[in-house]
Amino acid sequence: MRSRKLTCASINFIVVLLSQSVHSQLQVGFYGNSCSLAEFIVKDEVRNSFFRDQGVTAGLVRLHFHDCFVRVSKRAKLLIHVTLGCDASVLIDSTPSNKAEKDSPANNPSLRGFEVIDNAKARLEAICKGLVSCADIVAFAARDSVELTGGLSYGVPAGRRDGKISLASETLTDLPPPSFNVDQLTKFFSNKGFTQEEMVTLSGAHTIGRSHCTSFSNRLYNFNGTTNQDPSLDAIYASQLKQQCPQGNTNPNLVVPMDPSSPAITDAGYYTNILANRGLFTSDQTLMTNAATANQVSQNARSTMLWRSKFAAAMVKMGQLDVLMGNGGEIRSNCRVINS
Ligand code: HEM
Ligand SMILES: *[C@@H]1O[C@H](CO)[C@@H](O)[C@H](O)[C@H]1NC(C)=O
């Protein structure tokens, strides 16, 4: 009995040590010697796409989030599988025998920005063959997007490697739905190692980008058994949304900006909207229903600078979720397919 307990304890201990050393190895400037143009080339591609379509930056920030949160393992899972969080699993295309993350309802058709990653990867393969991981490209592109839209820039610890597994089914449990309330969100983020405050901070990403009508139309037309329209939604905003997203709309591509007054600026608009009952999703407006999170919403609305620096720090933390390092995984040559 005792020796068995000891064994379990030491396995846990080794796993903790492993994941700590894994984290400490990611380095800002990782490609400085091996491919010194890596970050420049990614930034150049993000900038090019931004000038064609400003919204692509929002897509790239969300791409990083969806990459990092899916396949983050609990300790037990870590011992069984070897593929993990920010591992570019979100970029892998489905095959006849495997439905990949990108084709789950959480990602298709809403996730965007894949072509920016492809373009950067193609240029990097031409000059630094087999050196720069797709997972790092996604992390760099998210940072560049924050920067280009006026957020605070940050150094991206790099050295991630690419995973070989991508399962649509895992997005069901690893990505939060817009219907979540504050308790569900807090628990969800805490399972991934984030505090409630970091959850509020990261949600501020919804200050850029767009949403499909389908992600919130229940709040307009069929809220619950007793009321059609969510009473926590500002009435004027609700009627605008109803015009943009008509009832019975069958066009799956209809979208609205999440922060209508500045959809391509990383400002505190997300928080001022919530204070005005104009948070688009239940998962946004629900932050007002808890004293601590409501307080953070007000604080972030008052001080954009404070929020921008908290956001940069939380993005760095998110980018380190259970990464593959060293000899783990691979460096894909095409971000959409695992190397054969
Ligand atoms: C707190 C829980 C979260 C929920 C429930 C949630 C849910 C959603 C939903 C439903 C959409 C709209 C998708 C569509 O219909 O087109 C969206 C968009 C977006 N989300 Fe989140 N999200 C959350 C957290 C985050 C985090 C942590 C980030 C990044 C740090 C993020 C970044 C974005 C961005 C940038 C968009 C706009 C994408 C675009 O314009 O293409 N979200 N989110
Ligand atoms: C529907 O929502 C309203 C307002 O939030 C609430 O008062 C009511 O209890 C809810 N009804 C059901 C059946 O959940």
Question: Per residue in 17-64, pLDDT tens?
Answer: 444 444 458 999 999 999 999 999 999 999 999 999 999 999 999 999
Q: Is the pLDDT of residue 306 over 60?
A: yes
Binding site as annotated, residues for Ca(2+): 67, 70, 85, 87, 89, 101, 207, 259, 267
Q: Is the pLDDT of residue 310 over 70?
A: yes
- CATH number of the domain enclosing 157: 1.10.520.10
Please tell me which residue in 64, 66, 81, 212 is annotated as part of the active site: 66
| Main-chain phi, psi angles of 256, to 5 degrees | -130, 150
23 flagged as catalytic: no
* Predicted local confidence at residue 83, as pLDDT: 39
Q: Assess if residue 7 is contained within a domain.
A: no
Mutate to test the pocket of ligand 1, among 197, 203, 214 (most ligand atoms within 8 A of CB): 203
Give me the domain span that covers residue 295.
Answer: 182-315
Residues with a CB atom less than 6 Å from ligand 1:
55, 58-59, 61-62, 65, 110, 112, 176-178, 180, 185, 202-203, 205-206, 208-212, 215, 281, 283
State the virtual CA torsion across 311, 19, 190, 315 in degrees, nearest 10.
Answer: 10
Q: Assess if residue 77 is contained within a domain.
A: yes
Within this chain, do residues 167 and 297 fall inside the same structural domain, yes or no? no
Q: Assess if residue 238 is contained within a domain.
A: yes
Distance 175 CA to ligand 1 centre (A): 10
Q: Report the predicted TM-score, pTM, of the whole model to 2 decimal places.
A: 0.92
Within this chain, do residues 165 and 124 fall inside the same structural domain, yes or no? yes
Q: Is the pLDDT of residue 79 over 90?
A: no
CB within 8 Å of 168: residues ≥ 6 apart: 94, 99, 100, 101, 103, 104
CB within 8 Å of 316: residues ≥ 6 apart: 154, 155, 156, 157
pLDDT, mean over the chain: 91
Mutate to test the pocket of ligand 1, among 65, 179, 186, 214 (most ligand atoms within 8 A of CB): 65
Ligand nearest to the Cα of 181, by number = 1
Q: Assess if residue 113 is contained within a domain.
A: yes
Residue that finishes a domain, picked among 175, 193, 212: 175
Within this chain, do residues 108 and 205 fall inside the same structural domain, yes or no? no
Worst-scoring range by mean pLDDT, 78-87, 141-150, 220-229, 258-267?
78-87
The secondary structure of residue 256, as a DSSP letter, is: E
| Of residues 6 and 105, more confidently modeled | 105
Mutate to test the pocket of ligand 2, among 222, 227, 286, 289 (most ligand atoms within 8 A of CB): 227
Q: Assess if residue 80 is contained within a domain.
A: yes
Binding site as annotated, residues: 67, 70, 85, 87, 89, 101, 176, 206-207, 259, 267
Binding site as annotated, residues for substrate: 176
Within this chain, do residues 251 and 141 fall inside the same structural domain, yes or no? no
* Predicted local confidence at residue 84, as pLDDT: 62
Confidence label for 190 from pLDDT (cuts 50, 70 and 90) = very high
Distance 110 CA to ligand 1 centre (A): 10
Q: Is the pLDDT of residue 327 over 50?
A: yes
Task: Report residue 116 as tokens.
Answer: 């920016």
Q: Assess if residue 225 is contained within a domain.
A: yes
Distance 297 CA to ligand 2 centre (A): 24
Within this chain, do residues 156 and 278 fall inside the same structural domain, yes or no? no
Question: How many angstroms separate the CA atoms of 92 and 171, rounded?
Answer: 14
Question: How many angstroms separate the CA atoms of 18 and 83, rounded?
Answer: 14
- CATH number of the domain enclosing 282: 1.10.420.10
**Average pLDDT rounded to a whole number, residues 271-289:** 98
Within this chain, do residues 203 and 274 fall inside the same structural domain, yes or no? yes
231 in contact with ligand 2, CB cutoff 6 A: yes
Please state, for a pLDDT cut of 70, what percent of the chain lies above it: 89
Residue nearest to atom 6 of ligand 2 (CA): 226
- Number of structural domains (the chain) is 2
Within this chain, do residues 160 and 210 fall inside the same structural domain, yes or no? no
Within this chain, do residues 113 and 210 fall inside the same structural domain, yes or no? no
Question: How many angstroms separate the CA atoms of 69 and 84, rounded?
Answer: 9
**Average pLDDT rounded to a whole number, residues 73-87:** 56
Measured CA angle at 195 (ends 190, 201), to 5 deg:
120
Q: Is the pLDDT of residue 195 over 80?
A: yes
Q: Assess if residue 245 is contained within a domain.
A: yes
Within this chain, do residues 161 and 191 fall inside the same structural domain, yes or no? no
Distance 180 CA to ligand 2 centre (A): 15
Question: How many angstroms separate the CA atoms of 209 and 241, rounded?
Answer: 16
* Predicted local confidence at residue 24, as pLDDT: 52
3-state SS, residue 149: coil
* Predicted local confidence at residue 25, as pLDDT: 83
Within this chain, do residues 198 and 163 fall inside the same structural domain, yes or no? no
| Of residues 59 and 5, more confidently modeled | 59
- 3-state class percentages of the chain: helix first, strand second, coil last, to nearest 5: 55, 5, 40
Residue that finishes a domain, picked among 175, 197, 225: 175
**Nearest atom in ligand 1 to 61's CA:** 35
Residue that finishes a domain, picked among 175, 190, 223: 175
**Nearest atom in ligand 1 to 284's CA:** 1
pLDDT tens per residue across span 87-139: 999 999 999 999 999 999 999 999 999 999 999 999 999 999 999 999 999 99
**Nearest atom in ligand 1 to 178's CA:** 5
Within this chain, do residues 106 and 226 fall inside the same structural domain, yes or no? no
Within this chain, do residues 208 and 67 fall inside the same structural domain, yes or no? no
Q: Assess if residue 13 is contained within a domain.
A: no
